């Protein structure tokens, strides 16, 4: 039996632009089509099928989203290809309890596994929704684990971070793959980058949600006959251009020129999303204008972007601080309450500068 496995689709997501919603719908449809093209007899969704409750609360938006994906859903139903799903963390919160998936379920488009299983004949599919308390997962796995009948494969669908992968910091991992034994294969959502860890396969997301994620998006096909998996790449809905500039190599005024050159060298990309990051340290009297970088993008009709300015400014020397400091501000900062009134008497001190200078130096040195 051939089963298509699809990771996080985040339908309705509008990260970086309202137009993004259409991209996530297109990626969902591309993923379903890819599974069908490769002979899928069933398709599994690994959670975070929908991105936000805001989509469901807005009737018009939700109706538009369902219209965008209805062609693929209707075709699956017509050809009797079961669509199985588990709720992910984005399907929970604010009393949602997988509400969007429940709509698909009530319309007869999907079967939602909530710690339950479905027997597809050659394959028994078990599904555990996202767990806010990951320590509960081993007990849920034990409830689903059973001796398989002769020739039948058993697979598990999961939506929590697993340990052992190269793309996930160890402190964020929630479950050890060793605790998921007893299944021929485990397919894991929640991670957005494709990876295989032991008998766990992570298809990754179907669309770029974080601009700095440049991983290829794909679906996975599981062949139960040989207990094998294959990976099939999805077409890009948009190009994402990432430009990083280091102020140890460039002056602030050169960053704008460098961005112009980089954008012009990528003219072949049609309406890409652009991520610009600036790092490093500049002199105290220098500045990088976000407005100027924005203007460069808009001059090229690019309106979907993220400008991430992470640079710092060198500290002023004591002499520079003294020259630029307002005595009134210094006194307010250094003397609370009644002491401020006492300190202000020195503002009018006119019997030589020595005493006043000493006070000012002490204040500066204390701050």
Look up the CATH number of the domain holding residue 151: 3.60.21.10
Provide the pLDDT for residue 317: 58
Confidence of residue 22 (pLDDT cuts 50, 70, 90): confident
Q: Is residue 112 part of a domain?
A: yes
Domains: count for the chain: 3
Q: Are residues 171 and 278 in the same domain?
A: no
Mean pLDDT over the full length of the chain: 86
Residue 318 counted as domain residue: no
Last residue of a domain, one of 288, 313, 338: 313
25 and 72 fall within a common domain: yes
141 and 246 belong to one structural domain: no
Q: Write down the H helix ranges in 97-173.
A: 99-106, 137-144
CB-based contact 273:247 (threshold 8 Å): no
For the segment 226-246, the average pLDDT, to the nearest whole number, is 93
Which of 276, 271, 284 lies closest to 256, judged by CA?
Answer: 276
Residues 195 and 279 occupy one common structural domain: no
Task: Looking at the structure, tell me whether residues 167 and 104 fall in a common domain.
Answer: yes
Residue 210 lies in a domain: yes
Split at pLDDT 50, 70, 90, the class of 134 is very high
Tokens read off for 282: 């500049």
- Domain C-terminal end among 233, 260, 281: 233
Please check whether residues 299 and 165 belong to one and the same domain: no
Distance, CA of 291 to CA of 270 (rounded, Å): 23
Kindly report the pTM of this predicted structure: 0.78
Question: Which two structure tokens, joined as six digits, stand for 352?
Answer: 């030589």
Mean pLDDT of all residues in 344-359: 57
Question: What residues make up the domain containing 330?
Answer: 324-366
Q: What confidence category does residue 330 fall into, taking pLDDT thresholds of 50, 70 and 90? A: low
């Amino acid at each position: 039996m051939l089963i298509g496995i699809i990771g996080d689709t985040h339908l309705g997501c509008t990260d970086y632009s309202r137009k993004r919603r259409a991209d996530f719908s297109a990626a969902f449809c591309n993923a379903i089509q890819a599974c069908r093209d490769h002979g899928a007899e069933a398709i599994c969704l690994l959670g975070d099928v929908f991105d936000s409750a805001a989509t469901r609360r807005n009737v018009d938006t939700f109706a538009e989203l369902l219209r965008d994906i209805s062609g693929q859903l209707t075709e699956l139903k017509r050809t009797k290809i079961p669509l199985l799903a588990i709720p992910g963390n984005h399907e929970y919160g604010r009393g949602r309890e997988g509400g969007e998936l429940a709509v698909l379920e009530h319309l007869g488009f999907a079967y939602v596994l909530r710690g339950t299983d479905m027997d597809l004949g050659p394959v028994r599919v078990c599904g555990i929704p996202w767990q806010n308390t990951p320590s509960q997962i081993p007990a849920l796995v034990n409830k689903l684990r059973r001796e398989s009948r002769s020739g039948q494969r058993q697979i598990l669908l999961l939506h929590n971070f697993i340990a052992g992968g190269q793309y996930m910091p160890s402190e964020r991992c929630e479950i050890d793959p060793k605790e998921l034994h007893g299944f021929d294969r485990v397919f894991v959502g929640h991670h957005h980058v494709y990876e295989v860890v032991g008998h766990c396969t992570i298809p990754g997301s179907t669309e770029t949600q974080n601009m700095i994620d440049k991983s290829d998006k794909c679906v996975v096909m599981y062949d139960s006959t040989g207990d094998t998996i294959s990976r099939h790449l999805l077409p890009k809905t948009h190009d994402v251009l990432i430009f990083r500039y280091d102020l140890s190599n460039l002056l602030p005024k050169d960053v704008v020129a460098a961005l112009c050159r980089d954008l012009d060298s990528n003219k072949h990309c049609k309406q890409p999303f652009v991520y610009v990051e600036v790092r490093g340290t500049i002199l105290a009297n220098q500045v990088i204008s976000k407005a100027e970088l924005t203007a460069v993008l808009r001059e090229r009709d690019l309106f979907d972007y993220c400008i991430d300015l992470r640079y710092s400014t060198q500290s002023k020397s004591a002499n520079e601080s003294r020259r630029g400091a307002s005595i009134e501000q210094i006194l307010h900062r250094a003397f609370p309450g009644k002491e401020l009134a006492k300190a202000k008497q020195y503002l009018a001190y006119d019997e030589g500068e020595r005493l006043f200078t000493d006070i000012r130096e002490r204040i500066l040195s204390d701050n």
